[in-house]
Protein backbone atom coordinates (compact mmCIF):
# COMPACT_ATOMS: atom_id res chain seq x y z
CA UNK A 1 0.00 0.00 0.00
CA UNK A 2 1.58 3.29 -1.08
CA UNK A 3 2.05 5.95 1.55
CA UNK A 4 1.14 9.39 0.35
CA UNK A 5 3.43 12.21 1.44
CA UNK A 6 1.70 15.48 2.00
CA UNK A 7 3.19 18.25 -0.11
CA UNK A 8 4.68 21.22 1.68
CA UNK A 9 2.48 24.25 1.12
CA UNK A 10 4.00 26.81 -1.23
CA UNK A 11 3.91 29.73 1.25
CA UNK A 12 5.81 27.63 3.79
CA UNK A 13 8.36 26.59 1.18
CA UNK A 14 8.75 30.21 0.12
CA UNK A 15 9.29 31.33 3.72
CA UNK A 16 11.91 28.61 4.18
CA UNK A 17 13.73 29.73 1.03
CA UNK A 18 13.66 33.37 2.15
CA UNK A 19 14.95 32.37 5.59
CA UNK A 20 17.98 30.71 3.98
CA UNK A 21 18.77 33.60 1.64
CA UNK A 22 20.19 35.95 4.27
CA UNK A 23 22.57 33.39 5.90
CA UNK A 24 23.65 32.26 2.45
CA UNK A 25 24.48 35.79 1.31
CA UNK A 26 26.12 36.92 4.56
CA UNK A 27 27.89 33.67 5.43
CA UNK A 28 31.00 34.22 3.28
CA UNK A 29 31.56 37.91 4.17
CA UNK A 30 31.02 37.24 7.88
CA UNK A 31 33.33 34.22 7.75
CA UNK A 32 35.97 36.29 5.97
CA UNK A 33 35.62 39.04 8.60
CA UNK A 34 35.96 36.55 11.44
CA UNK A 35 38.96 34.72 9.99
CA UNK A 36 40.97 37.68 8.74
CA UNK A 37 39.96 40.45 11.16
CA UNK A 38 38.50 39.27 14.44
CA UNK A 39 40.85 36.32 14.89
CA UNK A 40 44.04 38.35 14.18
CA UNK A 41 42.80 41.15 16.45
CA UNK A 42 42.13 38.56 19.15
CA UNK A 43 45.67 37.20 18.80
CA UNK A 44 47.16 40.69 19.03
CA UNK A 45 44.96 41.42 22.06
CA UNK A 46 46.22 38.20 23.68
CA UNK A 47 49.82 39.26 23.15
CA UNK A 48 49.05 42.62 24.77
CA UNK A 49 47.99 40.78 27.94
CA UNK A 50 51.20 38.80 28.20
CA UNK A 51 50.50 35.28 26.88
CA UNK A 52 52.17 34.17 23.68
CA UNK A 53 51.57 31.32 21.28
CA UNK A 54 54.70 29.54 22.42
CA UNK A 55 54.66 26.19 24.19
CA UNK A 56 55.17 27.86 27.59
CA UNK A 57 52.95 30.93 27.63
CA UNK A 58 53.57 33.74 30.05
CA UNK A 59 50.94 34.47 32.69
CA UNK A 60 48.28 37.02 31.89
CA UNK A 61 49.42 40.44 33.08
CA UNK A 62 48.59 44.10 32.58
CA UNK A 63 52.17 45.23 33.14
CA UNK A 64 52.69 46.13 29.49
CA UNK A 65 49.53 48.24 29.49
CA UNK A 66 50.65 49.92 32.72
CA UNK A 67 54.06 50.72 31.24
CA UNK A 68 52.45 52.09 28.06
CA UNK A 69 49.92 54.32 29.85
CA UNK A 70 52.69 55.71 32.08
CA UNK A 71 55.16 56.13 29.22
CA UNK A 72 55.61 59.66 27.93
CA UNK A 73 57.45 58.47 24.81
CA UNK A 74 54.68 56.51 23.11
CA UNK A 75 51.84 58.76 24.26
CA UNK A 76 53.71 61.86 23.06
CA UNK A 77 54.31 60.12 19.74
CA UNK A 78 50.60 59.26 19.50
CA UNK A 79 49.52 62.85 20.12
CA UNK A 80 52.09 64.08 17.59
CA UNK A 81 50.71 61.64 15.01
CA UNK A 82 47.16 62.69 15.89
CA UNK A 83 48.04 66.33 15.27
CA UNK A 84 49.75 65.51 11.97
CA UNK A 85 46.76 63.46 10.78
CA UNK A 86 44.42 66.28 11.79
CA UNK A 87 46.50 68.82 9.87
CA UNK A 88 46.56 66.62 6.77
CA UNK A 89 42.81 65.95 6.96
CA UNK A 90 41.83 69.60 7.38
CA UNK A 91 44.15 70.79 4.61
CA UNK A 92 43.02 68.12 2.16
CA UNK A 93 39.33 68.79 2.86
CA UNK A 94 39.94 72.52 2.38
CA UNK A 95 41.58 71.85 -0.99
CA UNK A 96 39.14 69.15 -2.13
CA UNK A 97 35.90 70.99 -1.36
CA UNK A 98 36.31 73.79 -3.97
CA UNK A 99 37.45 71.19 -6.49
CA UNK A 100 34.42 68.95 -5.84
CA UNK A 101 32.14 72.02 -5.80
CA UNK A 102 33.34 73.04 -9.25
CA UNK A 103 32.96 69.54 -10.66
CA UNK A 104 29.47 69.05 -9.24
CA UNK A 105 27.82 72.47 -9.58
CA UNK A 106 29.64 74.37 -12.31
CA UNK A 107 27.54 72.79 -15.04
CA UNK A 108 30.55 71.92 -17.18
CA UNK A 109 29.95 69.10 -19.63
CA UNK A 110 33.42 67.71 -19.00
CA UNK A 111 33.00 67.17 -15.27
CA UNK A 112 33.21 63.39 -15.54
CA UNK A 113 36.33 63.69 -17.67
CA UNK A 114 37.85 65.93 -15.01
CA UNK A 115 36.72 63.48 -12.33
CA UNK A 116 38.47 60.70 -14.24
CA UNK A 117 41.66 62.77 -14.30
CA UNK A 118 41.30 63.26 -10.56
CA UNK A 119 41.22 59.53 -9.86
CA UNK A 120 43.79 58.69 -12.56
CA UNK A 121 46.63 58.35 -9.99
CA UNK A 122 44.80 55.29 -8.61
CA UNK A 123 45.87 53.50 -11.79
CA UNK A 124 49.46 53.49 -10.55
CA UNK A 125 50.97 51.88 -7.49
CA UNK A 126 50.74 53.69 -4.15
CA UNK A 127 54.38 52.87 -3.48
CA UNK A 128 55.53 54.20 -6.85
CA UNK A 129 53.80 57.52 -6.23
CA UNK A 130 55.46 57.89 -2.83
CA UNK A 131 58.86 57.00 -4.29
CA UNK A 132 58.31 59.57 -7.05
CA UNK A 133 57.75 62.24 -4.40
CA UNK A 134 60.86 61.03 -2.59
CA UNK A 135 62.87 61.74 -5.73
CA UNK A 136 61.19 65.13 -6.29
CA UNK A 137 61.84 66.27 -2.70
CA UNK A 138 65.29 64.65 -2.45
CA UNK A 139 68.56 66.53 -2.12
CA UNK A 140 69.39 65.66 -5.73
CA UNK A 141 65.83 66.13 -6.95
CA UNK A 142 64.56 68.72 -9.43
CA UNK A 143 63.62 71.29 -6.75
CA UNK A 144 66.98 71.44 -4.97
CA UNK A 145 68.89 71.02 -8.24
CA UNK A 146 67.10 74.03 -9.73
CA UNK A 147 67.71 76.15 -6.63
CA UNK A 148 71.39 75.21 -6.64
CA UNK A 149 71.70 76.04 -10.35
CA UNK A 150 70.40 79.58 -9.78
CA UNK A 151 72.62 80.16 -6.78
CA UNK A 152 70.02 79.69 -4.06
CA UNK A 153 70.26 77.50 -0.98
CA UNK A 154 68.60 74.09 -1.37
CA UNK A 155 65.47 73.57 0.72
CA UNK A 156 66.25 69.95 1.72
CA UNK A 157 62.56 69.07 1.98
CA UNK A 158 63.06 65.32 2.25
CA UNK A 159 62.87 63.65 5.68
CA UNK A 160 60.85 66.48 7.18
CA UNK A 161 57.38 66.80 8.66
CA UNK A 162 56.41 69.02 5.73
CA UNK A 163 57.30 66.23 3.28
CA UNK A 164 55.05 63.77 5.15
CA UNK A 165 52.13 66.23 5.16
CA UNK A 166 52.60 67.05 1.47
CA UNK A 167 52.81 63.44 0.27
CA UNK A 168 49.94 62.23 2.48
CA UNK A 169 47.80 65.11 1.21
CA UNK A 170 48.58 64.19 -2.40
CA UNK A 171 47.86 60.51 -1.80
CA UNK A 172 44.50 61.00 -0.09
CA UNK A 173 43.12 63.96 -2.08
CA UNK A 174 40.98 61.80 -4.44
CA UNK A 175 39.52 59.90 -1.47
CA UNK A 176 38.42 63.21 0.02
CA UNK A 177 37.09 64.77 -3.18
CA UNK A 178 34.90 61.82 -4.21
CA UNK A 179 32.45 61.73 -1.25
CA UNK A 180 32.15 65.52 -1.31
CA UNK A 181 31.46 65.37 -5.06
CA UNK A 182 28.76 62.73 -4.52
CA UNK A 183 27.03 64.77 -1.80
CA UNK A 184 27.07 67.91 -3.96
CA UNK A 185 26.04 66.03 -7.10
CA UNK A 186 22.93 64.70 -5.34
CA UNK A 187 21.97 68.16 -4.08
CA UNK A 188 18.46 69.26 -5.06
CA UNK A 189 18.96 72.18 -7.46
CA UNK A 190 15.45 73.36 -6.65
CA UNK A 191 16.64 74.48 -3.22
CA UNK A 192 19.24 76.73 -4.80
CA UNK A 193 16.64 78.15 -7.17
CA UNK A 194 14.32 78.79 -4.22
CA UNK A 195 17.11 80.61 -2.39
CA UNK A 196 17.70 82.74 -5.47
CA UNK A 197 13.98 83.53 -5.73
CA UNK A 198 14.10 84.68 -2.11
CA UNK A 199 16.86 87.18 -3.06
CA UNK A 200 19.64 85.25 -1.34
CA UNK A 201 23.11 85.97 -2.67
CA UNK A 202 25.29 83.14 -3.88
CA UNK A 203 27.30 83.34 -0.67
CA UNK A 204 24.15 83.19 1.45
CA UNK A 205 22.80 80.26 -0.58
CA UNK A 206 26.08 78.45 -0.07
CA UNK A 207 26.14 79.04 3.68
CA UNK A 208 22.45 78.27 4.29
CA UNK A 209 21.79 75.51 1.73
CA UNK A 210 24.80 74.00 -0.02
CA UNK A 211 27.19 73.70 2.91
CA UNK A 212 24.72 72.19 5.43
CA UNK A 213 23.50 69.59 2.93
CA UNK A 214 27.04 68.64 1.94
CA UNK A 215 28.32 68.26 5.53
CA UNK A 216 27.72 64.47 5.63
CA UNK A 217 30.01 64.11 2.62
CA UNK A 218 32.55 66.42 4.24
CA UNK A 219 32.59 64.40 7.46
CA UNK A 220 32.85 61.15 5.49
CA UNK A 221 35.75 62.60 3.49
CA UNK A 222 37.43 63.75 6.70
CA UNK A 223 37.18 60.23 8.14
CA UNK A 224 38.48 58.68 4.93
CA UNK A 225 41.76 60.52 5.34
CA UNK A 226 42.03 61.02 9.11
CA UNK A 227 41.71 57.39 10.23
CA UNK A 228 44.12 55.83 7.68
CA UNK A 229 46.78 58.51 8.19
CA UNK A 230 46.60 58.05 11.96
CA UNK A 231 48.12 54.59 11.57
CA UNK A 232 50.23 55.35 8.48
CA UNK A 233 53.79 54.04 8.41
CA UNK A 234 54.78 53.53 4.75
CA UNK A 235 54.86 57.19 3.73
CA UNK A 236 56.60 58.45 6.90
CA UNK A 237 59.23 55.74 6.60
CA UNK A 238 60.04 56.80 3.01
CA UNK A 239 59.87 60.61 3.16
CA UNK A 240 59.89 61.28 6.92
CA UNK A 241 62.65 61.22 9.48
CA UNK A 242 63.40 59.21 12.58
CA UNK A 243 61.84 61.59 15.12
CA UNK A 244 58.30 62.84 15.66
CA UNK A 245 59.39 66.38 14.74
CA UNK A 246 60.53 65.16 11.30
CA UNK A 247 57.57 62.93 10.44
CA UNK A 248 58.07 59.73 12.44
CA UNK A 249 54.56 58.52 13.32
CA UNK A 250 52.79 56.16 15.69
CA UNK A 251 52.44 53.49 12.99
CA UNK A 252 56.21 53.46 12.51
CA UNK A 253 56.66 52.68 16.21
CA UNK A 254 54.29 49.69 15.91
CA UNK A 255 56.16 48.43 12.85
CA UNK A 256 59.53 48.79 14.56
CA UNK A 257 58.34 46.91 17.66
CA UNK A 258 57.18 43.97 15.54
CA UNK A 259 59.85 43.62 12.86
CA UNK A 260 62.97 45.70 13.60
CA UNK A 261 65.84 45.17 16.00
CA UNK A 262 64.79 43.04 18.96
CA UNK A 263 61.05 42.49 18.42
CA UNK A 264 58.81 43.36 21.35
CA UNK A 265 55.47 41.89 20.33
CA UNK A 266 53.79 42.60 23.65
CA UNK A 267 54.46 46.34 23.54
CA UNK A 268 53.67 46.46 19.83
CA UNK A 269 50.35 44.71 20.48
CA UNK A 270 49.48 47.21 23.20
CA UNK A 271 50.15 50.10 20.82
CA UNK A 272 48.09 48.44 18.07
CA UNK A 273 45.09 47.69 20.31
CA UNK A 274 45.20 51.21 21.73
CA UNK A 275 45.12 52.64 18.19
CA UNK A 276 42.25 50.31 17.24
CA UNK A 277 40.28 51.46 20.29
CA UNK A 278 40.84 55.13 19.47
CA UNK A 279 39.71 54.56 15.87
CA UNK A 280 36.58 52.74 17.08
CA UNK A 281 35.70 55.62 19.41
CA UNK A 282 36.24 58.14 16.62
CA UNK A 283 33.98 56.14 14.31
CA UNK A 284 31.20 56.15 16.91
CA UNK A 285 31.61 59.88 17.56
CA UNK A 286 31.70 60.89 13.91
CA UNK A 287 28.93 58.52 12.79
CA UNK A 288 26.30 60.90 14.15
CA UNK A 289 27.58 63.57 11.75
CA UNK A 290 27.18 61.30 8.72
CA UNK A 291 23.38 61.40 8.87
CA UNK A 292 21.61 63.53 6.23
CA UNK A 293 20.86 66.99 7.53
CA UNK A 294 17.79 69.11 6.99
CA UNK A 295 17.92 72.76 5.99
CA UNK A 296 16.10 74.72 8.65
CA UNK A 297 14.11 77.72 7.50
CA UNK A 298 14.07 80.75 9.75
Report if residue 1 sits inside a domain.
no
Report pLDDT for 28.
83
Report if residue 47 sits inside a domain.
no
State the DSSP string of 56-109.
Answer: SPPPP--HHHHHHHT-HHHHHHHHHHHHHHHHHHHHHHHHHHHHHHHHHHS--T
Report if residue 151 sits inside a domain.
yes
How far apart are the C-alpha atoms of 91 and 165, rounded to whole Å?
9
Angle formed at CA 125 by CA 120 and CA 127, multiple of 5 degrees: 130
Report pLDDT for 298.
43
* Sign, CA torsion 66/70/72/75: positive
How far apart are the C-alpha atoms of 242 and 119, rounded to whole Å?
32
Report pLDDT for 291.
60
- Chain centre to alpha carbon of residue 71: 27
Report if residue 266 sits inside a domain.
yes
Q: What is the pTM of this model?
A: 0.83
Range of the domain at 118: 61-290
Burial 88-116 (b: 16+ CB within 10 A, else e): bbebbbeebbebbbebbbeeeeebeeebe
Angle formed at CA 279 by CA 274 and CA 256, multiple of 5 degrees: 50
What does the pLDDT look like over 11-57, one tens digit per residue?
Answer: 666 665 666 666 777 778 888 888 988 999 998 998 888 765 544 45
Q: Indicate which CATH number applies to the domain containing 219.
A: 1.10.3720.10
| Below-70 pLDDT ranges, the chain | 1-22, 51-58, 261, 289-298
Count of the separate structural domains present in the chain: 1
Report if residue 223 sits inside a domain.
yes
Report if residue 34 sits inside a domain.
no
Report pLDDT for 62.
86
Report pLDDT for 58.
61
How far apart are the C-alpha atoms of 76 and 236, rounded to whole Å?
17
Report if residue 15 sits inside a domain.
no
Report if residue 53 sits inside a domain.
no
What does the pLDDT look like over 197-211, one tens digit per residue?
Answer: 788 888 888 888 888
Report pLDDT for 155.
84
DSSP state of 4: P
Amino acid sequence: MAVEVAAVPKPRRRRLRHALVTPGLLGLPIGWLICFFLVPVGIVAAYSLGPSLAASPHPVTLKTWHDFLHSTTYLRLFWSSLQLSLIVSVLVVAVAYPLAYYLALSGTKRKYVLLLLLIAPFLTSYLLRVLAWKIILGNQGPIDSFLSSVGLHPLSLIYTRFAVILVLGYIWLPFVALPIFVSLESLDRGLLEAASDLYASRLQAFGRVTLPLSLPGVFAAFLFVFIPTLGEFVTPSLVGGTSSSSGYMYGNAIQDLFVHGFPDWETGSVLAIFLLGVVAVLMVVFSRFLQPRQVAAD
